[in-house]
Amino acid sequence: MPLYEYECSDCGEGFEVLVLDSDETIKCVSCDSENVGKQFSTFGLGGSDGNLGISEGEDSGGCSQSSCGCCC
């Protein structure tokens, strides 16, 4: 089914619409404006920061420090 991505020109809200009828009027889900523009359909929405899967300080949390007090 055709899923289109729109962006509101008034408030900037981005949203997806499942268009069942091509004559259907698309309105902004946020402000109800009809002043919306169709965007290119993309996969993987929500992972736009590109930093997924990176562990922060993976090797720094052990018992190498004498002050850790957990097992030394």
The pair of structure tokens assigned to 10 is: 């008034």
Q: Which of 4, 7, 11, 16 binds Zn ion (CB under 5 A)?
A: 11
DSSP state of 26: P
Interface stretch with Zn ion, choices 17-25, 31-39, 48-56, 59-67 (CB under 5 A): 31-39
**E-assigned strand segments in 2-66:** 3-8, 14-18, 36-39
Q: Which of 13, 15, 16, 19 binds Zn ion (CB under 5 A)?
A: 13
* Amino acid at position 28, single letter: C
Residues that bind Zn ion (CB under 5 A): 8, 10-11, 13, 28, 30-31, 33
